[in-house]
Structure 1
Amino acid sequence: MKRLGAILAAAIVGLTGAAVVAPAANAAIYSSGVFSIPYSGDLYNVNASSGEIRKLTFAEWQSLGSPAPRPAPTEFKKYAWSPTIYAVTFFGDQRSEWVWAKVTYDQWQRAGFPAPSTAGWIEGTYFYKWATSPELFAIAPDGVYKKLTASEWAQAQVGTFNNRSNEGFFKYSWDNTIIRMTNIAGGSGYGINYNQWAAEAFPTPQVVGRVPGDTVYQNYRDPNIWYAGPAFNRILTAAEWRAMGSPAPQVRTPNRPTDSRNCDSFGGSWRAAQDTFEYWFPLYGDVYGLDGNRDGIACNALRG
């Protein structure tokens, strides 16, 4: 089985250019004993029978009789798209039996500056997919984001990814704003700039005319049509409104006023009194009592 695994690993390297992380053919990794990590000097005790792999304190090492440690089989890896070097120490042929660490410069120097090979998978990498595109992404343990190619995903050999089914990125068909949706079903999100989009590794946004939870509206007695969504709240041009399908705007009406006014409240201006009367009358009637004789004319005494 180990020979077959080595053949398959070599085949994938030839096809993709990245090495599959796998333990070298070394019988020591399947045996019991105390092992030393080359880049740190940490000691591990391995029990091949029980499968226990345990990092030792100095006192624990002494309690075992201070045995001379054997060098633990260790390889140095990095992603082609990230500068960070990692070390992986093999205490068995299962991933659960490998010890990974992000290597500092001093640790790399201690190990003799070994040239890292390119890995398809490094422990601690987060693989995921947004709801708004079929693309797959990875976040390396050092925080570097990467949009994966089909080849890079095949190299990872993890099989599964986190499906972020209620998150993603939209772009309006009538506006260039890219929207990071944090809750698609709930209509929550925010507009992002180019640098923020780049930081996410340029996920392809889904082009839409509308997004869940948005509103097209008009304010009472205002001819302008407004759009309120997760990215902005602004007046639409006629072309933008048509591009989103010419939706009927919701009319937003003001609440009934609660202040007190009379004909003396308008500084002697009949026009101001009449405008106030005409604004409120269709909604709530003569709320200020400006039309005493109910002829549709406010504050007749101000007309002169």
Structure 2
Amino acid sequence: MASTFLAAPSSAVDTGFYSVPYADTLYYHEHYSGSDEVTFPAQYEMWQSSGFPTPRPAPVRYVKYPWSSDIWAVHFFGPDREDWVWSVLDYGQWSRAGRPAPSDAGWIEGSTYWQYASSPEIFVAIWEDEPAHKLTPAEWRAAGSPAPERLWNQGIYTYPWSSSIGYVWDTPTGDGDTLTFEDWAFLGFPTPQTVNHLSYEHVWRFRGSSQLYLDSAITGIDFPLTFGQWSALGRPAPVIY
């Protein structure tokens, strides 16, 4: 993390137009009263009305998360995070920039951090459609130790006698679904909390049959119970259909 962001200037860059090597975009940076400053993409008309001044190269570093293939350009227009401008690069933009080798970043703008009610583990993702990453303590510190959103009514659970893992999205009602391996991987492999019961789990059997079934977010519906599994649940009286 330190090697990535030591390139940030100790003070803001000068007012003016700035170019980036991977696109035709021009940025305009300006100081206001006090320490206020602003940076934004400049329209052609603005550059024209200013007399087409030669833009200066925007201070830039190329970074990525160690677990991701996405490469970002981060421009340090000032020393604080709110002064930095970020852009994720596609292959063409990365090639146009000279295919720079990215440094590992501890934090990238737009990252979201969260924590399930079932575990102290912290997860991060930037895009909604990308797999989550489970942070190590060192990775969390490198990100600046951000406070994660606590998903108080969501959790990942398993029974001590089951190999299935359930994602409960409403713990008071027990509403949820069994995770496939692909689902679990997409969530970042959260460690399930072992529980003996879930809210509103449902044991039942057909009239005239001794086979018991369990409906639960962990096992899914119509899960056939063995005598030992039923005993582990406390031998609840089944509903007869």
The TM-score, its normalising length taken from structure 2, stands at 0.88
Structure 1 position 78, deviation (Å): 0.7
Deviation at 1:113, TM superposition (A): 2.1
Shift of 1:162: 1.4
Cα separation, 2, equivalents of 1:251 and 1:144 = 39
Unaligned runs of 5+ in 1: 1-11, 14-18, 254-304
Instruction: Report 1:141-160 matches (<5 A).
Output: 141=127, 143-160=130-147
Q: Using the alignment, how far apart are the partners of 1:190 and 1:144 within structure 2?
A: 18
Which amino acid letter does the alignment assign opposite residue 134 of structure 1? P
Contact 2:158 2:165 in 1 (8 A): yes
Q: How big is each residue's C-alpha offset from its partner over 1:45-100, in whole Å with a ceiling of 9 and x where there is no partner?
A: 11112412221111121112211111110110011111111100111112111111
More strand by share: 2
8 Å CA contact 1:145, 1:201 repeated in 2: yes
Q: State the partner residue of 1:292.
A: none
> Map of 1:92-131 to 2, 5 A cutoff?
92-131=78-117
Answer whether contact 2:134 2:190 (CA < 8 A) is retained: yes
Name which of 68, 73, 83 aligns with 1:87: 73
Give the aligned partner of residue 224 of structure 2.
235
- SS of the residue corresponding to residue 30 of structure 1 reads coil
Q: 1:56 to 1:158 in 2, by over 3 A?
A: farther
Instruction: Give 1:20 shift.
Output: 5.0
Cα 1:21–1:143, aligned 2, differ >3 Å: closer, same or farther? Answer: farther
| Other structure's SS at 1:246 match | coil
Higher-helix-fraction structure? 1
Distance in 2 (alpha carbons) for counterparts of 1:219 and 1:106? 62
**Structure 1 residue runs of 4+, over 6 Å off?**
none
Where does the alignment leave 5 or more consecutive residues of structure 2 unmatched? none
Matched, 1:45 2:34: no
Amino acid at match of 1:197: W
Match status 1:217 vs 2:204: yes
Q: Is the 8 A contact 1:136 1:147 kept in 2?
A: yes
Q: Alignment identity in percent?
A: 35
Q: 1:226 matched to which residue of 2?
A: 213
| 2:213 partner letter | W
Paired with 1:113 and 1:218, the residues of 2 have a C-alpha distance of 63
- Whether the aligned pair in 1 keeps the contact of 2:10 and 2:78 (CA below 8 Å) is no
SS in 2 for 1:112: coil
Match of 1:269 in 2: none
Q: Counterpart in 1 of 2:14?
A: 31
* Deviation at residue 200 of structure 1 after TM alignment: 1.6
Give the match for residue 188 of structure 2.
201
- Does the 8 A contact of 1:21 with 1:120 survive in 2? no
Larger relative contact order (CA 8 Å, sep ≥ 6): 2
Matches within 5 A, 1:256-267: none
Q: Quick check: 1:246 aligned with 2:235? A: yes
SS in 2 for 1:232: strand
- Cα distance, 1:158 vs structure 2: 4.8
**2:4/2:63 contact within 8 Å kept:** no
Could you list the per-position Cα deviations for residues 16-55 of structure 1 after superposition, in whole angstroms to 9, with x for gaps in the alignment?
Answer: xxx453543376x432111112221311111112412221
Aligned length: 235
The offset of 1:219, in angstroms, is 4.5
TM-score if structure 1 supplies the norm length?
0.71
Which segment is superposed worse, 29-38 or 116-125? 29-38
CA distance in 2, matches of 1:155, 1:135: 16
Q: Which has the larger radius of gyration?
A: 1
RMSD: 2.1
Determine the structure 2 residue equivalent to 1:275: none
User: How far apart are residue 211 of structure 1 and its match?
Assistant: 0.8
